[in-house]
Structure 1
């Protein structure tokens, strides 16, 4: 598996998905308070509310990946993340936009915890699946580490959490190109 281009393409796609979702989770409460202007209590409520979407994203994107294939599931995820990030940028002080955007972002983080393992089986087959996914899962760690550094950098440099959506959009656009170029050939199930 690690000798294939598809592995590195899927690894990067997974890192981008984890980066985008974990960044939204990491800043949700602070973003709600500082950008939207709601109280810490309401921000805590919404953080709990968004967790429902994180959980729902797993079976939803698992079904999408099984039904439509890995490539389409990845493209759907990135497109919806870009939509959510763009909505946040356009409607930065709207509570409704915040709820919609962060629900979508949390849904997609849960989704990547289904897309990546299902795609590992789809692309590389079931033999050695557990070892293969264990190696691929390192992308989640890289996404987790990078979101803290990049999110913190953008917040400190530009003075607001609203700017975190620019690297999210850029990363997802990169992920779309990687998916379209390197995951285009037929997989075990695609």
Structure 2
């Protein structure tokens, strides 16, 4: 084994890849607030702009649609030109979206600042960092993608309370500008030290059955396995994004948002708990999937999600139980961001991993449309959130079943071919 200054190449690579994981985690944390902090801004934005919730939620949908629908192009550019500058640019664009949103006075302006800049910026960072980690950790894909995906959830945990307090003390405009600057700079600095693995990096062998053939995107799009995964991720994304984007709205409708629990208002407390569980679930279920298989883990997590959403709705009149169950709901949802990219790379190889995941990540954008403005519109038409939750529960249960009865045999047959 080759040595450099007495240190083996394998040892050097081990140190390097863990450093890359930490840097990717920081970059992901810096872009989490545009999505996970959105619920804090819906009420002050509605009051300031004088618009309906369904119209305001288009901002959130633009954010997620641009984050996801452009990800194949962004993934291709990262595969082609490298990760460092593109991911740093994404962090700066995300911060710029918040800064400029602090100055707008119209709904259209919000669409073209918060929606446009944050959407493009977070998309570049998310697909770029995940694409890096599936390459650096062929032996621990589920865990590594779970760790950086956890950063996307945990980042908001560090900022939720300061953002909530600053909105109440200084207004939402000042909050957007201050945190836009901080998060953009922190993310860009971390991203500038990222890189792709090279031929000189000695990486461990995979621990689960994977393909060593790099399937190009056009060939992947012709496979039924990909489209089944796309439908499954869309259904899971719809439910999770509905709860994230509408949490403030339906918790107020249920009468629990302002109730004090453990000396804290229920809404920020629930969102903080949710950030913890939404972060922990990603490396945890990724680690589990590295050991018991991707589809088995999906079935456990997705069926648990269906059960926990059901219980949260049934106990919506009990503020303490509602808050605690919301944490379980996010623990059953956030793992899609470790399970699906690792499953995709296991199936279609690492050579085109970033571009291929960019194509699958579009499912998140479809879910944002269904779970954002369309869910809000259904609430306005029916006068209740219960029909929305009923649809989500059904989709969660169906996805868990499909993991075992459809995805597992189809992936086995695809590998055999």
Tell me which interval the TM-score lies in, with the shorter structure as reference length.
0.7 to 0.9
- Superposed counterparts of 1:81-120, under 5 Å: 81-120=305-344
Assess if the C-alpha contact under 8 Å between 1:75 and 1:176 holds in 2.
yes
- Stretches of structure 2 that go unaligned for 5 or more consecutive residues are 1-219, 260-264
- Superposed counterparts of 1:1-190, under 5 Å: 1-39=220-258, 41-185=265-409, 186=412
* In structure 2, distance between residues paired with 1:78 and 1:95: 24
* In structure 2, distance between residues paired with 1:46 and 1:37: 10
* TM-score normalised by L of structure 2: 0.42
| TM-superposed deviation, 1:36 | 4.1
* In structure 2, distance between residues paired with 1:158 and 1:100: 27
Q: C-alpha deviations, 1:144-164, integer Å up to 9, x for none?
A: 121013421332133233432
| TM-superposed deviation, 1:99 | 2.2
Deviates more, 1:179-188 or 1:100-109: 179-188
| TM-superposed deviation, 1:61 | 1.9
* In structure 2, distance between residues paired with 1:165 and 1:85: 8
| TM-superposed deviation, 1:77 | 2.1
| TM-superposed deviation, 1:27 | 2.0
Assess if the C-alpha contact under 8 Å between 1:84 and 1:100 holds in 2.
no
The number of aligned residues is 188
* In structure 1, distance between residues paired with 2:298 and 2:284: 13
SS at match of 1:29: helix
* In structure 2, distance between residues paired with 1:64 and 1:141: 27
* In structure 1, distance between residues paired with 2:321 and 2:383: 21
SS at match of 1:184: helix
* In structure 2, distance between residues paired with 1:17 and 1:104: 15
Greater RCO (Cα-Cα under 8 Å, separation 6 or more): 1
| TM-superposed deviation, 1:79 | 0.5
| TM-superposed deviation, 1:122 | 2.3
Q: Which protein shows a greater Rg?
A: 2
Structure with greater helix percent: 1
| TM-superposed deviation, 1:184 | 2.3
* TM-score normalised by L of structure 1: 0.87
* In structure 2, distance between residues paired with 1:148 and 1:32: 15
Assess if the C-alpha contact under 8 Å between 1:6 and 1:182 holds in 2.
no
* In structure 2, distance between residues paired with 1:55 and 1:2: 30
* In structure 2, distance between residues paired with 1:139 and 1:69: 22
